[in-house]
Chains A and B, each alone.
Chain A
Amino acid sequence: MTRRTFRLTRTGLAVGAAGAAVLLVATPAAADGPTPAPAEATLTKAGTSFLTAAAVHIDQPVRVSAATGEYLYWSFPAQAGQTSSIAATVTLADPATRSGASTWTIDVFDGLRRRQPCTAGMQAPVGSATDRQVQAGCVLRQVRAWAEPWSADPLPGTYYVRLSVTDLPEQDLGLPVQVELRVSADVSGDTSPEGGRLEAPLTPTVRQGAVLTSDAVAGDPAAAGQVSEESWWDGVVGWFSGWLPGLTSRWIWTVAGGVLAAVGGVVGFGLTRRPRPRTDPAAAG
């Protein structure tokens, strides 16, 4: 009896140790994603186009002065499993100088400039003629690790936020406004439900293009794209990454399931064990 208890305890210890090992390794990997910058200095810039979008970190405060009618662009990174939310506050010009209501809109695009829907939040709030402030918000869909090229699912990479006034009395254009913005993120759940992985994040190129001649293409295979030189180590890693799923919570669940199955097996076996008389020393004697 005591011996059995001891065995079970040992099994439990093994489970705990294995789980701890998994968690210890998993924790830093999860932590370095959504909050990269420790010192969050306020960003006082905004871009005016996709190419010039100002990069913001997650949770970095943004505060810029702008003119009513400007299109303000920011970009932020998102990883698989991340649900990003954007909150913006526009402090409008003095109501005395304004003549009517204005609609402010947050548009979000992925790295391929594809429009992303908001699942929650006031995406296009209307500020009345007397309002001093307008609050806009948008919660995006959870980023997936992989999606078919034909789908419009959100993928890891760069996301663009565009804040602009989309409807207003024409004479209110050009008036000064203050814009505050913050992008926050929450990484939770299964980051890779399909088990797939995007080879390269949707991070757009910003370098100047080059028009190729047909000779250049025929003669130079590198012209068709960057040629990646693989070392043997990359090969090994590539083989493992192709064969094994990445470090996801599925490992913990599966390992835990295996351990529980083993425990269940031992318990089930124990249930069918012949009771006392056999092992009782008195009966034996």
Chain B
Amino acid sequence: MIIRRTAQAVLIGLLGVIILPGTPPAGADETTENLRMQLVLDVSGSMREPDMNGQTRMAVAQRAFNEVVDAVPAGTDLGIRVLGATYPGDDKALGCQDTQQIVPVGPVDRDQAKAAIASLRPTGFTPIGLALREAAKDLGSGETARRIVLITDGEDTCAPPDPCDVARELAAQGTRLIVDTLGLTLDDKVRQQLVCIAGATGGTYTTAQSADQLADRINQLVDRAQDTYTQTPELVTGSTDCTAAPLLAAGVYTDRERFEEHRWYRVPIRADQELRASVSIALDRPVNRDYGILLRAVHPNGRELVRGTDAGSGRTDVLSTGLRWSAGPEDDRTDGTDQADGTDQADDTDRADDTDGTADLAGTPSAAVPTAAGVEPPPAEVCLVVSNSFAAAGAAGDAPGMPIELTVDLVAASPTPESPGLGRGWLLLIVLSLAGLVTGVLAGWLTRWWTTVWKES
């Protein structure tokens, strides 16, 4: 009895080992680059307004900056750039060139930074667009995300260029750049402009009405950046068809897609692997109310394998969808290929090219050729195509395209289960009990009958 019970426990223990719990996402690879961040402060004439609990906006900003400089964590390269700080005249051409970096991007020298902050006096114009361009240059290019925190109390007085367009253009330049904006007034035009700048780069907009609010928010932005700046996707450019599409390994990618554009990618895959892909498209400009996104996995011969789609309306940051696909067991892949073969010639040449080109590239000529039995071998690679149904609202054009984030993962395929083999529920117990009872009664009767027969003989 004990032996049997132990054996059972061992068996069940063995089964327990097999169960995998859900795990949280893994962290990104470590990088050696410091977080690079720049604060851009408006020092234009309007900062003289004493409308923040009796203090001037400038005084509040200075106090908040001092707190931020004190709180900057180690490993952060923080710079400070000002705009409208030096030119007091009325010449717009000169005033709109007025932006300087007062603290270079690097490990913070607290005394030097505080002295520079203390010397600021509200003076000139508000060339936000130019300041953003210069700030992006200060931060340089590199593998990690760059952050700009723009603090201003007034709208850009130097447009064109519209600072919102400048922000979108900077964000499209390759290095990931996020602009968070802080407004020191509740003015409608300022807010609209700052919301637009933040939205164009995936940043946030906040109003700040006191030094504490301002300092807390900047510190929060520094903290957030600290946690997340390393997770930058690889830049990739999808092509217009599958043949020339870039080959992707597992990982995170970013691309740009215009309205109603299709972007193709290819993923090499083995028969025992499952492809997982997800895509997000960011709404970095005003778009019409209703919109959609479609991600399809396509066989190199043109057959759609699976699609993921989502649609929405109204205010949102990204629209996302995803899909899973695996080849499945061999006997599921029969049929259909013979007919497809027959119609191939009638199809457009594009498709035939696809098949040939990809088969050569992957070094597996059999990928698109059905075997005699009509069993289609699994494709050596799967094409992914991302398309969208956004439409522009207002003046924002479709260039540069909207940012896409594409995640590709290859994992072991999960086979279709056989039926569980074990039962469950009260009905099962009743059926088994009745079956046992009936068997017992029958066995009893048989025994009795047999005993009687044996006795009589």
Nearest-CB residue, chain A, relative to B28: A206
A267 to B443 CA separation, bound complex (whole angstroms): 11
- The CB with the most chain B CB atoms within 10 A, among A24, A148, A170, A260, is that of A260
B5's partner among A18, A146, A208, A258 (CB-CB below 8 A) is A18
Within 8 A of A (CB), among B304-329: 306, 308, 310, 314-318, 320-326
Q: Is the CB of B25 within 8 A of A149?
A: no
Q: How far is the CA of A271 from the CA of B443 in the complex (A)?
A: 11
- Does A120 interact with chain B (Cβ within 8 Å)? no
Number of residues on chain B facing chain A (CB within 8 A): 125
* A-chain residues with CB within 8 Å of residue B407 when the two chains form the complex: 113, 204-205
A201 touches B20 (CB 8 A): yes
Give chain B nearest CB distance to A40 CB in angstroms. Answer: 15
> Which of B85-93, B130-138, B199-207, B369-377 is the interface stretch?
B199-207
Looking across the interface, which residue of chain B has its beta carbon closest to that of A219? B363
Partner of B428, one of A29, A157, A248, A257: A257
> Once the chains bind, are B207 and A175 in contact (CB under 8 Å)?
yes
Q: Quick check: is A269 within 8 A (CB to CB) of the other chain?
A: yes
Given the complex of chains A and B, what is the CA–CA distance between A214 and B143 in angstroms? 25
* B247 → A minimal CB distance (Å): 4
From B202, B317, B362, B410, contact of A217 by CB (8 A): B362
Are B12 and A25 in contact, CB atoms less than 8 angstroms apart?
yes
Q: With A48-B202, A197-B414, A257-B429 in contact, is A272–B276 under 8 Å at CB?
A: no
Partner of A250, one of B12, B325, B424: B424
- B333 at interface, CB cutoff 8 A: no
What separation, in Å, do the CA atoms of A173 and B196 have in the docked complex? 12
B186: Cβ under 8 A from any A Cβ: yes
Closest residue to B423 on the A side, CB-wise?
A254
In contact, B18 and A112 (Cβ under 8 angstroms): no
CB atoms of B440 and A166 under 8 A apart: no
- Which residues of A have CB within 8 Å of B213? 176
Given contacts A29-B19, A207-B251, A208-B29, contact A149 B326 (CB under 8 A): yes
Interface contact B314-A167, CB-CB below 8 Å:
yes
Tell which of B12, B412, B438 touches A268, judged by Cβ atoms closer than 8 Å: B438
Closest to A228 in B: B412
* Nearest B residue (CB) for A211: B246
**B269 lies within 8 A of A209 (CB):** no
Nearest chain A CB to B78's CB is how many angstroms away? Answer: 20
Chain B positions 389-414 with a Cβ under 8 Å from a chain A Cβ = 405-414
Q: Does A270 contact B (CB under 8 A)?
A: yes
Give CA–CA (A77, B441) in the complex, Å. Answer: 52
For A255-285 the 0/1 string (1 means CB < 8 A from B) is 0111011111111111111100000000000
Which chain A residues border B291 with CB–CB below 8 Å?
A: none
Complex formed: what's the CA distance from A204 to B27 in Å?
Answer: 11
* Residues of chain A from 162 to 221 with CB closer than 8 A to chain B in the complex: 164-167, 170-171, 173-176, 190, 192-214, 217-218, 221
Asked if B340 CB lies within 8 Å of chain A CBs, one says no
- The CA of A39 and the CA of B39, in the complex, are separated in Å by 37
Q: A171-B191, A257-B432 are in contact. Are A22 and B12 (CB under 8 A)?
A: yes
- CB neighbours (8 Å) of B444 from chain A are 268-273
Q: Least Cβ distance of A59 to chain B in Å?
A: 14
Complex: A257 Cα to B373 Cα, angstroms: 45
B24 near A55 with CB under 8 A, answer yes
What distance in Å separates the Cβ of A250 from its nearest Cβ neighbour in chain B? 4
Interface size on A, residues (CB 8 A): 121
Known interface pairs A29-B16, A194-B420, A268-B437. Does A75 touch B24 (Cβ–Cβ under 8 Å)? yes
Complex Cα–Cα for A33 and B424 (A): 22
Are A245 and B314 within 8 A (Cβ)?
no
CB-based contact A250/B251 at 8 Å? no
Q: Which of A1-58 contact B (CB under 8 A)?
A: 14, 17-18, 21-22, 24-26, 29, 32-33, 45, 47-55
Which residues of chain B come closer than 8 Å to A264, judged between CB atoms? Answer: 432-437, 439-440
Question: B433 and A21: CB pair below 8 A?
Answer: no
A211, B316: Cβ atoms under 8 Å? no
Closest Cβ of chain B to A2, distance in Å, is 20
CB distance from A246 to the nearest CB of B (A): 5
* Partner-contacting stretch, out of B61-69, B148-156, B159-167, B216-224: B216-224
- With contacts A52-B231, A207-B29 known, what are 17 further pairs, Cβ within 8 A? A17-B1, A47-B224, A67-B205, A115-B321, A149-B323, A149-B324, A170-B195, A174-B195, A200-B274, A200-B411, A204-B25, A208-B234, A211-B234, A246-B15, A246-B19, A261-B436, A269-B441
21 cross-chain CB contacts under 8 A: A47-B228, A67-B206, A71-B316, A71-B317, A75-B25, A76-B24, A111-B322, A112-B278, A114-B310, A176-B206, A197-B20, A204-B278, A205-B252, A209-B248, A210-B248, A240-B15, A246-B19, A247-B18, A251-B12, A260-B432, A273-B444
Give 5 nearest A-B pairs by CB, closest first: A268-B440, A209-B251, A272-B444, A112-B322, A264-B436
